Amino acid sequence: MSWSDFYRRRDALDAVLRAAAGNPAAPLTFDRDAFATEDELILALHYRWMQQLTGRLGAALEDSDDDRVETVARTWRALAAEQPVLRAVLDAHLTDTEAIEREQRMLALTAGLAELSEPSAEIARVGAAFANLVRTRPGVVPGRHRRLAKSA
């Protein structure tokens, strides 16, 4: 990919988010020269989310003495608040199971709720439960982290 392709794709993603601001669940309009399919576009938006999230998580964990679960939850919520249209578009349109589970596994592992030695499906299940708590109960961070893993 050339730099001009990179900038064209970046600008196309920005245009999609600007257009989706009024209704993130509406069908997306996008530059078909930059993205061949809507699935390709959604995966590019998810990649943008994951880049920002992983970078922020790395910095937050380095700078914090707080509990890992609390730090991961706070960081995810902060990014979602800073990028509400991006998060809403992903929530409405991302259906790629592999991408969703990749994010869930990353959350579970980063929060220390799972270990790499566990089966991938189990890590994703724990991550899904954690992500659900982070999304639906913003003031709640589970106090007994292993209990979350067992009851999820």
Each residue's pLDDT, cut to its tens digit, for the chain (152 residues) gives 789 889 999 999 999 999 999 999 999 999 999 999 999 999 999 999 999 999 999 999 998 888 999 999 999 999 999 999 999 999 999 999 999 999 999 999 999 999 999 999 999 999 999 999 999 876 655 554 443 444 44
Buried b (16+ CB within 10 A) or exposed e, 78-108: ebbeebebbbbbbeebbeeeebbbbbbbbbb
Count of CB atoms situated within 10 Å of the CB of 46: 20
Assess contact for 126 and 108: CB atoms under 8 A: yes
- Single-letter amino acid, residue 140: V
Instruction: Find the angle CA(99)-CA(102)-CA(106) to the nearest 5 degrees.
Output: 145
Residue 140 confidence (pLDDT) = 54
Residue 144 confidence (pLDDT) = 44
Residue 66 confidence (pLDDT) = 81
Give the C-alpha separation, 32 to 78, whole Å.
Answer: 32
Residue 36 confidence (pLDDT) = 94
Name the residue among 109, 112, 94 with its Cα closest to residue 38. 94
